[in-house]
Amino acid sequence: MAKAESEDAQIKLRTLIVDDEPLAVERIQVICAELSAINVVGTASDGAAALRLAEKLEPDLVLLDMTMPELDGLGVARKFAEDSNPPAVIFVTAHDHFAVEAFDLEAIDYVLKPVSSERLDRAIERAVARKGERKAPASKWLEELWVPHRSELLRIAVSEVHQIDAERDYVRLHVGDPVTSAETGRSYLLLQTIAGLEDRLDPEQFIRIHRSTILRRDNIRGLRHDGLGVWSAELQNGEALRIGRTYLSKVKAMAGR
C-alpha cells in the first residue's frame, strides 16, 4: 500500500478519530497505523466527546463521521470553525449528499464508507500538503465541489464548470473545455437545487440565464435576438440557449445593454 508522505519527513499530523460505530473506528485505526504521516492521539464516539477531546489534545486533523446522534459531524465541524486555529477535517461517511455543506466548512476531503486504505491515504496526503501553508482568507463563493463518481467523491474546481443544468432535485455540472465537452461527455450529477447552488457561485463568474440553466460568463460568445422579445445566448461551442424572460435584463446588463 502506498504511504502518505511529505517532502518534510518530520511532519506527523496529530489525529483524532470520531465515529459512533466501534467497528468503523477500529477499521480506521488499522489503516492509520500503516500511514507514516499521522499519529492517532485519540478516538471519540460522539460529537460532544469529540469537542472535549479536541480541546485537550489539540489535534492537527480530525477524521470525522457525518451522521452521529445529537451533535452530528457538520455541527462538530462548525464548532471547530469558530476556533482561531481549528484542526483540519476529513469527513468519513456513508452518505454522499452532504458534500456541498462539508465543503462550505472548508473540509480537506470527503471519504465514503466503506473506507479503503488507498482512498484514505490520498485524503491524508492532501492534509499533509496543507500543513504549514498560510491560510488564505476564506472566500464567500464556492471554489470547489465534490460530486459522486463511481464509489467515491470527485473534487472539481468550480472554474472548470462551464454550464449547470437543473434536473429535478439535482444539478448537472458540465466540466472541461466548453467547446469540446459535449463531445467527450464530461458531466456529473450533484444533489443540489439550482437556486441553492446559484447562491454559492461568484456572480462575477457565473450568470443564470434560465430557471434551468446557469452559465460561466466566459462561455457566452454573444447574445442573439430571435424576434418577438426572445433572446438566446450563443455559447463557445456554437450552441444557442434561450434566455428566460425573468433573467433577460440581468443578461443584457452583463453585455452593457
**178-216 pLDDT, tens per residue?**
887 655 668 999 989 999 999 999 999 999 999 999 999
Residue 3 resides in a domain: no
Same domain, 110 and 219: no
For residues 3-23, give the mean pLDDT: 75
pLDDT at 10: 56
pLDDT surpassing 50 at residue 6: no
Q: Is 236 inside any structural domain? A: yes
Place of cell 428566460: 244
40 pLDDT band (50/70/90 cuts)? very high
Highest averaged pLDDT of the listed ranges 122-136, 176-190, 237-251: 237-251
Same domain? 126 vs 165: no
pTM: 0.70
Is the same domain home to 118 and 183? no
- Residue 3: phi, psi to the nearest 5? -100, 145
Three cell numbers written together for 159? 472554474
In the prediction, which pLDDT does 154 show? 85
More confident residue, 61 or 105: 61
- Closest Cα to residue 203, out of 137, 247, 156? 247
Q: Is residue 6 part of a domain?
A: no
pLDDT given for residue 148 in this prediction:
82
For the cut 50, the answer to whether the pLDDT of residue 173 exceeds it is yes
Position 4 pLDDT exceeds 50:
no
Position 239 pLDDT exceeds 80: yes
Q: What share of the chain in percent tops pLDDT 70?
A: 91
Nearest to 207 by CA among 178, 233, 182, 168: 233
Do residues 41 and 89 share a domain? yes
Is residue 7 exposed (0-12), middle (13-18) or buried (19+ Cβ within 10 Å)? exposed
Q: What is the mean pLDDT of residues 10-25?
A: 91
173 and 230 in a single domain? The answer is yes
Same domain for 123 and 53: yes
Residue 44 pLDDT level (bands cut at 50, 70, 90) = very high
In a domain, 115, yes or no: yes
Q: Which domain CATH number covers 216?
A: 2.40.50.1020
C-alpha 237/C-alpha 184 separation (Å) is 13
Percent of the chain's residues with pLDDT above 90: 64
Tell me if 151 is assigned to some domain. no
C-alpha cell at position 23:
467497528
pLDDT of residue 184: 61
pLDDT of 7 reads 44
170 and 248 fall within a common domain: yes
> Which CATH number is 108's domain given?
3.40.50.2300
Q: What's the pLDDT at 48?
A: 96
Of 217, 42, 205, which is closest to residue 139 (Cα–Cα)? 205
Residue 58 domain-assigned (yes or no): yes
CB burial of 81-93 (b: ≥16 within 10 Å; e: otherwise) equals eeeeebbbbbbbb
Using pLDDT thresholds of 50, 70 and 90, give the confidence band for residue 105. Answer: confident
52 and 119 co-located in one domain: yes
Domain shared by 114 and 166, yes or no: no
Domain boundary among 84, 110, 130: 130
Q: Are 115 and 18 part of one and the same domain?
A: yes
Q: Are residues 88 and 169 in the same domain?
A: no
Domain count, the chain: 2
CA distance 41 to 59: 8
- Digit-coded pLDDT (tens) for 110-129: 898 999 999 999 999 989 88
Residue 155 lies in a domain: no
For all residues of the chain together, what is the average pLDDT? 88
Whether residue 126 is found in the same domain as residue 18: yes
Mean pLDDT value of segment 152-178: 91
Residue 77 structural domain: 13-130
| Letter string b/e over residues 108-118, b meaning 16 or more CB atoms within 10 A of that residue's CB | bbbbbbebebe
Decide if 118 is inside a domain.
yes
pLDDT of the residue at 99: 76
* Strand order from edge to edge, sheet including 161-167: 187-191, 170-175, 161-167, 213-216, 206-210
pLDDT at 5 (0 to 100): 44
Question: Which secondary structure element, helix H or strand E, spans residue 128, and what is its range?
Answer: helix 117-130
